[in-house]
Structure 1
Amino acid sequence: MHKGDVPHGWIGRGQWIPMIGYRLLVVGLISGWLLTVAAPRADELTDLLTGKKEEAATASEQVISAGNSEKDDAKIRKRLQTIYAEIHGLKGLSVRVSGGIVFLSGEVESAATETMALAFARKVEGVVKVENTISVNRELQPRLRAMWGKIVKLAQQVLVGLPLFLLALFILALFWITGRWLAARQGLFRRIAPNHFIAHLLGQLTHVSFVIAGLVMALSLLDATALLSTILGAAGIIGLAVGFAVRDTVENYIASILLSLRNPFEVSDFVDIDGHQGSVIKLTSRATILLSPDGNHVRIPNAAVFKAVIVNYTRNRERRFEFDVGVDTDQDLPAAQSLALRTLLAVTGVLQDPKPLVVVQSLGDSNVILRCYAWIDQMQVDLLKVRSEAIRAVKSAFDHAGIVMPEPIYKVRLFDADALAAASADRDAGVHAGRQPKVRRTADAVKPVATGDVSVDRTIEDKVKASGADDAADNLLSADAAREL
């Protein structure tokens, strides 16, 4: 199997989550349709399987009338008999009323039917109390017949609603396929997106939008839009929990989008990101890859890159370097500065504009520090090479002009006074006998200095290209993206 081949039936990394989400949507749609169709019979099926149901709340307290007659009892009995005669399962109940008290007797199929009979009796005006002597039939055969009848009715309702469900499923599939087809048209999204990453993201958002639109239409057709609110609420809760669990991953992903919209650097730019220096290889959807001057790969999460202080050394063509030179405290400092300045101007690669600069940086214990500044065009010459040549040229010019760059002097204190006096006398005698007077020489002319190779070193740049920086499919850095100034 070749590297780019995908095994049959294989779901690529990053695709299994959308697949599971789509399947959950389909399952939710089917469940919603079944709930919509079967809702009217759900209570009856539950009553059939369990055999009982929680009793309703007791009726509110009533004021008992002082007057009651047999005529009123007859009206109550007649009203209840009329109600029970119209309801299946209550036709066989016997009703007797005396003094506003209703006595119910007979046999019913389930506890739910018994509860319903009691509820009707309590609602009739003039009823003071209901005495229940109803018995529930626990025989198997009647229950099986009742259950089978309910199953048949449920199946009939399902068959009646099946065309509507199939139409809703067809609408969802149509929107799903249309969204997927549009998401695959990357050429369309590349016209408005700066790189492949944003184009792919827009395609995924388009696909999800079509799926959601199809789901809403399908549920509306089934009159189950309330189920959509439940699904969205559950999805929101799950998304919130997952967001907290993978907060760093989500932060990196969002940072990748923001960095790809406005690239802070380009491929091969030499940058410093929170102390990590290197040439940019690529910006992926998770991290920024640098190639250090030592040839090592440095991977920095995009969330850290987005929040970091980034120093881009390549953005401007002109770049300044500096180095320090120490001279003796007895030297003529203006002459030494003038010589160093003229030497820098003579070094190949050093720009005449902006001009080099030599300043007195500090006064040391035994020398004076001169700091030299010079500018180069880093597109034409190499910074390290020009800096090396500048240091060598200034050193050679100072040696030729007799400008002393002294070594550090250390003083040693002896605590024996006699030995210290003898040693001091011997040292003074030796110094006066062997020391030559210091000669102060001027620096009127600059001796020509041979300049070495200062051409740009392309080693790191070649390694960056070899690392796959030009792979547009995986690199979010694009020439079409906006640039941060």
Structure 2
Amino acid sequence: MEVCYKSWGQSCFVCICLTCSLVLLSKVPVHGQQENAVQTEAETSPDEQQAPARVDVEPVAEDADIGSRLKKILVATKWFIDPQVRVEEGVVFLTGEAKTPEDREWASKLAGNTQDVVAVANRMTVTKPSPWDFSPAWLEIDKLRRNTIQTLPVLLIAVGLLLVFWVAAKLVAKLSRRIASHRTTNFLLQEVVAKAASIPVFLLGIYLALRISGLTRLAATVLGGTGLLGIVLGIAFRDIAENFLASILLSVQRPFRTGDLIVVEGRKGFVQSVTTRGTTIMTLDGDHVQIPNSTIYKSVIENITANPNQRQTFVVGVDYEDSLEEAQAVILDVLKQHTAVLAKPESLVLVDALAASTVNLRVYFWISIAKHDGLKVRSSLIRLVKNALVEKGFTLPDEAREVIFPKGVPVRMLDASHQPMKERRSALPADRNNEPEEISTQSEGSLTSDAEEIEQQAKNSRQPESGENLLPPKKLEEAGESHGEEKI
């Protein structure tokens, strides 16, 4: 939950900064726009002033009066440097320097609209600004300062409203998460429900904050672009979205849980965690393997530990001359006496095939994989069955092979020590016949399962991927099953 609050805080901080910037930019006036009405006529830029339609001097204006009147007007505006006006026969000649081309054009219109002026010869030059003149920049900064002060109250209200909705979204998320926890123990579903309930509340806060700030069009764009943005992100991050949806389905359906031994795409290992990206398993060799959730969801999953019992098998070949019924009885007796073999389901010894030099017997037995390791038990049983058959005088021939003796076959007489297997078995001491066979040898080790050892190794190892495990802990899930809790 701490990670979720941090992500909410970062998102809110970015949204607040973006809102403030948009509000300030929206209040900056465009160049050439009319200034405040408090400014005097002399302080207003000439492109914002309209030349008078008519300048009345006298019913019949003299050239001197026209020139004097125009010069006084040009000097009063303070937009020109050393303006000079000369009038001859109604033709006005303007000289001097104008600060901008707009000022020069304004002077021409002014003179043309003066009474008894028949033509205007504007010979004014435009002053080229110095590259070191920063007055336009300072003017813009001053305008921005004034607009910031004017919009500050509205901006504070918008930010305050955004903070209120942010707190409301957190409360809604917490309440939704608590309600969802009573319905399901799935952590991912709880987070999805919490975000689905809180995000619309926060988006409503952003919309109202933009409306109050005067950015109505941007507010409508935010609401209208949310769905389009989701489609674009879905296409751009298709694999990420596919793995995320697969993680939701896996956490809901739960084909496995933490600690289960599964086989997916030919990889066998114990489940360690399931994140929004993939599932981490630890193989029997102690290696961490990350498999994308989409691959797991679409693949065949073999859950070995879902059923606590597992059937194992191996093949034993006896000689054609041996009694199959006796061989089956000897093998079955070994299976019944073995401590790791379950009594139910019962073990079977079936005739499997007639091979080249042997009659193959296939042995089936059941073990509890929660307690014992299948490979170790199988090794122990093969060793015990082989010893039992040899001790009972059964022959275990190998595959028939052709042997060529180019110089003939040497023949020699056997002494008394070379006896058939049955005779030699009967000649063994009585205590040797009754000596019990060890269930497991030192090389085979303990017959217990390696799941606990691998689980301990997983706890001591570094997790290859950070992220919250979507599967509940094994002890918590077992406790829920013991209390009969229903899983969604």
Distance 1:90 1:162 in 2: 34
Tell me, yes or no, if the aligned pair for 1:281 and 1:289 is still in contact at 8 Å: yes
Residue 165 of structure 2 corresponds to 175
SS of 1:476's partner is coil
Question: How big is the shift at 1:384?
Answer: 4.2
Which residue is 2:208 aligned to?
A: 217
2:422 and 2:453 mapped to 1: Cα distance?
A: 52
What is the identity, as a one-letter code, of the residue corresponding to 1:209? P
- Aligned: 1:475 with 2:463: no
Matches for 1:101-120 after TM superposition, within 5 Å: none
Residue 443 of structure 1 is matched in structure 2 by none
| In 1, Cα distance between equivalents of 2:358 and 2:277 | 52
2:471 maps to amino acid: L
1:84 is matched with none
Q: Residue deviations 1:96-129, cap 9 Å, x none?
A: xxxxxxxxxx99997789999xxxxxxxxxxxxx
AA aligned to 1:452 is I
TM-score (ref. length: structure 2): 0.60
Residues 361 and 138 from structure 1, CA distance in 2 versus in 1: closer, same or farther, beyond 3 angstroms? farther
Could you tell me which residue of structure 1 aligns to residue 353 of structure 2?
362
Deviation track 1:431-457 (CA, whole Å, cap 9, x = no partner) reads 9xx9988989xxxxx999656379972
Q: Deviations over 1:373-422 (max 9, x none)?
A: 112344465544543443344324422432211134431457xxxxx4x6
Identity of matched residues, %: 26
Give the partner amino acid of 1:176.
W
Superposed, 1:155-174 pairs within 5 Å as: 161-174=151-164
Q: Larger RCO: Structure 1 or Structure 2 (Cα < 8 Å, ≥ 6 residues apart)? A: 1
Of 195-204 and 391-400, the range deviating more from structure 2:
195-204
- Asked if 2 retains the 8 angstrom alpha-carbon contact of 1:108 and 1:114, the reply is yes
CA positional deviation for 1:322: 0.4
Distance 2:150 2:181 in 1: 47
Return 5+ residue gaps in structure 1 as ranges: 1-11, 48-86, 96-105, 117-132, 415-419, 441-445
SS at match of 1:330: coil
For structure 2, which runs of at least 5 residues remain unmatched after alignment? 36-46, 56-93, 107-121, 424-432
CA separation in 2, counterparts of 1:182 and 1:34? 31
Is residue 370–residue 449 contact of structure 2 (8 Å, CA) maintained in 1?
Answer: no
**1:29 is aligned to 2:19:** yes
Check 1:397–1:213 CA distance in 2 against 1; reply closer, same or farther (3 A cut). Answer: same
Q: Is the 8 A contact 1:376 1:383 kept in 2?
A: yes
Structure 1's 483 and 274: CA in aligned 2 closer, same or farther, altered over 3 A?
farther
Q: Distance in 2 between matches of 1:136 and 1:197?
A: 74
Q: TM-score, normalised by structure 1?
A: 0.60
Q: Look up the equivalent residue of 1:228 and give its one-letter code.
A: A
Q: 2:311 aligns with which of 312, 316, 320?
A: 320
Q: What secondary structure, in the 3-state scheme, does the structure 2 residue paired with 1:42 have?
A: coil
8 Å contact from structure 2 (residues 257, 471) kept in 1: yes
1:159 Cα deviation after fit: 5.1
Cα gap change, 1:406 to 1:138, in 2 (>3 Å): same
Give, in whole Å, the separation in 2 of the partners of 1:468 and 1:482: 29
Aligned residue pairs total 391
Amino acid of the structure 1 residue aligned with 2:49:
G
CA contact (8 A) 1:252 1:301 kept: no
Is the aligned partner of 1:91 residue 2:51?
yes
Task: Tell me the secondary structure at the aligned position of residue 314 of structure 1.
Answer: coil
Aligned with residue 275 of structure 1, among 255, 266, 277: 266
Deviation larger for 28-37 or 212-221: 28-37
Task: Measure the CA separation in 2 of the matches of 1:341 and 1:269.
Answer: 31
Query: Within 5 A, what are the aligned runs for 1:11-90?
Result: 21-38=11-28, 41-42=29-30, 44=32, 89-90=49-50
**What corresponds to 1:423 in structure 2?**
408
Distance in 2 between residues matched to 1:154 and 1:267, nearest whole Å: 60
Once residues 323 and 174 of structure 1 are traced to their aligned partners in structure 2, the CA distance between those partners, rounded to angstroms, is: 70
- Opposite residue 266 of structure 2, the aligned amino acid is G
Check conservation: 1:287, 1:299, Cα contact below 8 A. no
